[in-house]
A and B are shown apart, each in its own frame.
Chain A
Amino acid sequence: MVEILMSRRVAQIVCAVFGVLLFLLFFSNHPTAKAVTLTVTTQYWQVIAAFALIVGAVSFMRVNFKSMSRKQDAPFRAVGLLGMVAMPILALGWGIGGSSPFLWVFENIQAPMQSTVFALLAFFVASASLRGFRARSVPAAILLLAAVVMLLSRSWFESTTSNILMVTSDWLRNYPSMAARRAILIGIGLGSLTTSLRLIVGIERTWLGGNK
C-alpha cells in the first residue's frame, strides 16, 4: 500500500489533477470555484508547510549537532541551536506580546543582525558597480553614461540642472529600460507557462527524480 502511495505514477496523477483543476478554476468567478481554489492554495498548503517545517527543524538540528560533534565551527553551531531552542520556549512560556522576552530578543538581537546583513548590500553594490561600469566597449560606455545620469539625477546635483537630469533619467527608465524588462518578462511568462504545462501533461518528470 505504502509503495503504491509513494510511487511516481500517483504523484504524477495528483499533480495533473490539481494542475488542471486550478488552471480551470482560475478562469471562473463562481463562489464555489473561489472556495476550492482558496482551500487548495492556502489551507492544504499550510498543512504541508507545517509538517515540512518539522522536517526542516530536524534537518537543521542534525546538521549542527553532527558538525559540533566533529568540532567544526562549534561555537557558531551552538549559537544557532540555542536560538532555535530558546525562541519557541520564550514564545510558549511568556507569549509574544508587547513586553514579552520573545519580542525583546526579536527587536534587540534578531532585527539588528538582519539589518547588519542588509547593510552589507551597500558595500557589495559599490564593489559590483566598480567592476560593472568600466567603459571597455561602446555598450559598456553607454551603460556607464546611463548609470551616471541616473546617479546624478537622484543626488543634490539634480537641483542645479533645471530638471534636465530628472527628465533624462525618467526617460531612460520608462522607455529603453522598460522595453528590455518587458521583453524579458514575456520570455519568463512563456517559460513559466510551458514549464507548468510540461509538469501537468507529464512531459517533465525531473521533479519526481527523473524522466527515465
Chain B
Amino acid sequence: MSSTLLLAVNSGGEEWLDLSKLPLLIISFIVLAVVVILWLMSRRGSSFTPRQIPGLRAVEDAIGRATEMARPVLYTPGWGGDIQRPTTIASMNILSQIAEKTAQYDCSLIYPTHDPVIQSVAQEVVSESYARSGFADRYRQEDIRYVSSSQFGYAAAVEGIITRTRPAAIFLLGTFEAESLIMAETGNSVGAIQIAGTDSTIQLAFFIVACDYTLIGEELFVASGYLSGDKAILASVRAQDMLKIAIAVFLVIAVAWATFAPNSGWWRF
C-alpha cells in the first residue's frame, strides 16, 4: 500500500480506513456498481426474466386454496431476527405482496410476531397493501399481533393459533431457530400448504422435510421482485445471479491454482 494512501486514510495515528477490510470494501463497490448499472439498464427498457422458483409460483395457489376453504392465511417471520436484519426486510417485502393478494381474495391474514418493532412495521406494510389493492376496509389491525418475546412463548402462541384457526396456507419466511420445526410440524398436522424460507442453514433442513415448498438461500431475497414483477428489483436479482456466477468462477480458478501451486496465496483474503 502506498504511503500516499496511508496518509489519506490516517488521521492523528487513528485509522479512518481499516486496511484489513479493504478487499471487502472493493467487493462491495463492485456489487454496488453491478446493481446500479443493471438498474439503469432496466430504466432504459432492458427486461430481465427471473428463473422459475416453485415455492413462489405456489404462493397464489396457496392463497386461492385458503380462500376456497374459507380458512385464514398465517404468516410469521420467526423468532431469530429483528427489523435490522436483511432477512426480516426481505420477509416484509414478501408480506406486502401476499397481503395484496389476501386483500383481493378477501381472505383473512394472521401475522403473529415476537417483536413489537416488527409488528409496527408489518401493520404499516399490510395496511398499505390493503389500501393499494383497493380494499382498505378489509384490513384488521388486530390480526397483525405481538404475542411474546420469549422464544418458546412465541412458538407456543403460533402453535395455538395454528391449531385453533386451522389455516389453509402457512408462510414461514424470516429468521428461524429451534421453533421452526414446532411450527412446521403443527402446520403439517392441520393439512396446510406450507411455504418456508430462512437464512439459517440448520433450520432449512427441518423446513425441507416438513414444508411443501422451501426457499433456499438467496431465493428468499429475490421473492419480492419475483412476485411484484418490478423491473428495478428484477434487475438487482439479475445482478445477484451474475455475482454468484463470478464467485463460482473465482472459486474454480482458486481451487485449480491452489492444487497446482500449493504455496500461492493471492486468492486468500
A residues at B contact (CB < 8 Å)? 23, 26-33, 41, 45, 48-49, 52-57, 59-60, 62-63, 66, 73, 76, 110, 113-115, 117-118, 120-121, 124-125, 127-129, 131-132, 181, 183-188, 190-199, 201, 203-204, 206-212
Contact = CB atoms under 8 A, between A and B. Distances in A.
B228 A45 contact: no
A131 B11 CA distance: 61
A127 B188 CA distance: 11
Nearest to B200: A188
Contacts of A73: 164
B125 A207 contact: yes
16 contacts: A26-B21, A27-B18, A28-B15, A30-B15, A30-B16, A31-B14, A114-B152, A124-B181, A131-B210, A190-B243, A192-B87, A194-B237, A194-B243, A209-B127, A209-B128, A212-B132
Contacts, number: 204
Given A117-B155, A121-B178, A195-B90, A30 B240 contact: no
A196 B36 CA distance: 13
B92 interface: yes
A133 B32 CA distance: 42
Contacts of B31: 190, 193-194, 197
Contacts of B151: 114
Interface of B: 11, 14-18, 21-22, 24-25, 28, 31-32, 35-36, 39, 84, 86-87, 89-90, 92-93, 96-97, 115-117, 119-121, 124-125, 127-129, 131-132, 142, 145-147, 150-153, 155-156, 159-160, 164, 178, 181-182, 184-185, 199, 201, 204, 206, 208-210, 216-222, 224, 228, 230, 232-233, 235-237, 239-240, 243-244, 247
Contacts of B129: 209-210
B185 A60 contact: no
A29 B185 contact: no
A199 B15 contact: no
Contacts of A76: 160
A98 B142 CA distance: 38
A32 B12 CA distance: 12
Contact of A206 (B14, B16, B218, B228): B228
A207 B95 CA distance: 9
B11 A30 contact: yes
